[in-house]
């Protein structure tokens, strides 16, 4: 006995419905950026956590002196950029998956991007101000 096979017309229409959909489109860049930022955030977060614990109870002048080191300031900037970019990518994935209405999706995506950029700039200015002026 042979098993019944789908007719070519059904196969073509199913294929036609699936064309242009799936993860082979723009989703790969998003997925890859999330993986790269999460990989970068592991050592950066550990560094930041250890440094923060070490600085607990220190006066502002000691923290400013520590932040004035170019390597420390560069690592802090990298941590901020990676954190907020990773945050933005994750929230965008949530919006794409769970917000159905296109107008609301667009507005939410703009809000996510805007808040991510604003918060990242605030953190960067704080780090640079502390590193430069002490």
Measured CA to CA, the distance from residue 39 to residue 44 in angstroms comes to: 9
Name the band, by pLDDT with cuts 50, 70 and 90, for residue 35.
very high
CATH topology of domain 27-133: 3 helical TM bundles of succinate and fumarate reductases (1.20.1300)
Q: Residues of the chain with pLDDT > 70: what percent?
A: 81
pLDDT tens digit sequence for 77-115: 999 999 999 999 999 999 988 989 989 999 999 999 999
Q: Any idea where the domains of the chain sit in the sequence? A: 27-133
Instruction: Read off the pLDDT of each residue in 56-84 and give the average, rounded to a whole number.
Output: 95
Say yes or no to pLDDT of 54 above 70: yes
pTM summary value? 0.77
């Amino acid at each position: 006995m042979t098993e019944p096979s789908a007719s070519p017309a059904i196969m073509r229409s199913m294929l036609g419905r699936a064309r242009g959909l799936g993860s082979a489109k723009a989703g790969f860049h998003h997925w890859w950026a999330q993986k790269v930022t999460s990989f970068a955030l592991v050592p950066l977060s550990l560094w930041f956590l250890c440094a923060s614990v070490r600085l607990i109870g220190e006066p502002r002048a000691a923290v400013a002196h520590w932040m004035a080191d170019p390597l420390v300031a560069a690592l802090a900037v990298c941590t901020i950029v990676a954190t907020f970019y990773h945050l933005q990518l994750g929230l965008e994935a949530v919006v794409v998956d769970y917000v159905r209405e296109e107008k609301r999706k667009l507005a939410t995506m703009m809000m996510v991007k805007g808040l991510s950029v604003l918060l990242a700039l605030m953190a960067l200015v704080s780090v640079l101000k502390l590193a430069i002026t002490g």
